[in-house]
Structure formats: structure tokens, C-alpha cells
Structure 1
Amino acid sequence: MVALNLRRGLVLAFLVLVADQASKWWILQVLDLPTRRNVPLLGGGDFGLDLTMVWNRGVTFGLLSGSEPWHAWALAAMAAAIAAFLVRWMAKAENRRTALALGAIVGGAVGNVIDRARFGAVVDFVDAYAWGWHWYVFNVADAAIVLGVVVLLFEAVTAREAPQEAL
């Protein structure tokens, strides 16, 4: 069962990675969002969803950002190390939900590592807003990471203790 969970997690990681990189290719090459800067998608006025080009040189919310070339490599190395740790955890996952959550996080992390290696920054482009408040601009990899973490937190909160063996 553990090997099956590892396989499931790795397949989801691969699918997230492909979706992430395909969406970024489309944003950069087809839509040419760096030139257009902003494309309204849904809504407008008080709430909506736009495509907005952001080169994120940091991590979530732009934290730890820096412009030195070594900075992108340091963040990429840190993300790769975390992804390797998560794959080890995935190999020991006892249920499908945990393995899939870890797969989503790994696929997203690897997608953002590829961006840092290619561009020195992560390609972010989804801008959601409501009543004058904008969420941070994100991408498919970021969404997969957040959803994976939410599932892991749910698993931790709802976990049941293993039955104790009688002595």
C-alpha cells in the first residue's frame, strides 16, 4: 500500500509540475503578459480575477526577496531540499490523502525551482481581488502548495490514534 501511495503522490507531483510549467509558458510566450502587464478575466469593479505579471524574487508574499544572483539559487536549493524531504515522507505515507497532498506540494515546489533556475524569479500571474483588497499574485504551483498544506493540516487535526496493543 505504501508503494501505491508513493506512486500516486509522484504522479500528482508530475501533473502539477506539467500544469504549472504549461501555464507559465502560455503566460510568457502566447499571452505575452510581461508586455501587456494586466488582462482582466472575471468580474471587475468590486471583485474580480485578473492576469497580472509579477516576477517574484522571494517566497510567499515576496518574503526573503533579493536581487543578487546567488539569492535565487539559494531559494531554489532550499526548495529542492524541502521537496526531497517531502518525497521521503511521501514514500512512508500511510494513506492516499497524505501522499496526494505531499505530491501537490512537491510538484509545486519543483515548478517554482525551475522558474528560479531559468529566470532568477518565479512567474506569478493570478490576481484575485475583492472590495479593494488584493490577494497576493500567485501561480498554479503556489495554489497546489497551499492546497497540499491545507490537506496535511486537516489530516493532522483529524488523525486518530492507532489502537494500543494489549500487554
Structure 2
Amino acid sequence: MAAFKLKNVHWLWVSAGVILADQITKQLVIRSIERFESITVLPLLNWVHLHNRGAAFSMMSQMPPWFFVLLGVGVAVGIMVWMRRNPFGQRLVASGLALILGGALGNVIDRVRLGHVTDFVDFHIDDWHFAAFNVADAAITVGAGLLILDMLLEWLRARAARKVVGDGPLP
């Protein structure tokens, strides 16, 4: 029987770092800031202590915590399958997925332990506030951005290759 071999195991250190940073920062917030309290850090940035029972921007907040736990675990399993099957050379994709994995599991830990996710970063301009978020959410967002960047670069490379070969008009 062949041993399970994870080709991209080194990327799991990125995921572990995200989980660690996420959990440490959330614990600092929980221990030092009262719920709904806001501390001004910069003119456009506050630290807050909020509970998010939904997904991004509190969407689907009526869903039970186990729904998001299953969703996060499903994402994690999908990423692990990708890491098992895909080559080493796709660095942007691998790093993006590692960030998403760490962020997803960081938020899953909160939902299992607390029934909600602790958010604490509040960017604002005057009275307008962006949705509060945390390290896990930031990692998921940056990871998704890296995946989009990889797709764009791949499209540009394919377009340049077609132009060099002369296979007709470019889209």
C-alpha cells in the first residue's frame, strides 16, 4: 500500500502561521477589549470587539454555527486534496490556497469554541465603517486575490503565446 504523500506540505506552515496569528490576536482582543468597545488606533482604524455569527459582512447570520464549521472543513479538505495532487511549481496558487486554508480553519476554531467569530479590525472614513474583520478574514481575502492574480497571469501568458504563434485574433 502506497504511503500518503503530500506534495506541497511546506505550504501548511503558512496555514499554521495564519491560524496561530489569528487565534493569538483574537485572544488579545477578547481579554483586553469589552464587547462593542472601540479603541482608536489611527484616524481611519479602530480596534473593536464584535461577534460575527454569519459569513463575510455577517451574511447568513441566521445559519447555525455547524453550517459554517462544515463549510470550513469542506474548504480545508478540498485544499488538502489539491495539495496532494498538484505540482510544486504553482506558487501563487499554493500560497493563495494556504492562506485560505489557514483563514478558514482559524474561523472554524472560533465557531467550534465560541459559536461565533471574533472580529476586531474596523476601518472607517468618518461615519462610514467597512465590515469589521480579523486576521483569518484578511488571509482569506489575500489568498483569493493571489488566486485571481494567478488566473490573470495565466491568461496573459496564454494570450502572449497565441500572439507569438499567430493562431488568429486575440480575444
Question: TM-score, length-normalised on structure 1?
Answer: 0.83
Q: Which runs of 4+ in 1 moved over 3 A?
A: none
RMSD: 2.0
Preserved CA contact (<8 Å) 2:9 2:83? no
What displacement does 1:131 show?
Answer: 4.1
Preserved CA contact (<8 Å) 1:51 1:125? yes
Out of 90, 97, 114, the position equivalent to 1:95 is 90
Match of 1:86 in 2: 79
Match of 2:53 in 1: 57
Which of structures 1 and 2 has the bigger CA Rg? 2
What displacement does 1:41 show?
Answer: 0.6
| 1:157 and 2:158 are equivalent in the alignment | no
Preserved CA contact (<8 Å) 2:30 2:49? no
Preserved CA contact (<8 Å) 1:8 1:100? no
Match of 2:167 in 1: none
**What runs of 5+ residues in structure 2 fail to find an aligned partner?**
1-5, 162-171
What displacement does 1:101 show?
Answer: 0.9
Out of 5, 11, 24, the position equivalent to 2:26 is 24
Preserved CA contact (<8 Å) 1:90 1:98? no
What secondary structure does 1:40 align onto? strand
Preserved CA contact (<8 Å) 2:16 2:102? yes
**What runs of 5+ residues in structure 1 fail to find an aligned partner?**
none
What secondary structure does 1:16 align onto? helix
Deviations 1:79-106 (A, max 9, x none): 1111110122233154222111111000
Preserved CA contact (<8 Å) 1:8 1:99? no
Deviations 1:122-166 (A, max 9, x none): 0001000124321110000000000000000010111134x8xxx
The percent of aligned pairs where both chains have the same amino acid is: 33
What displacement does 1:32 show?
Answer: 3.2
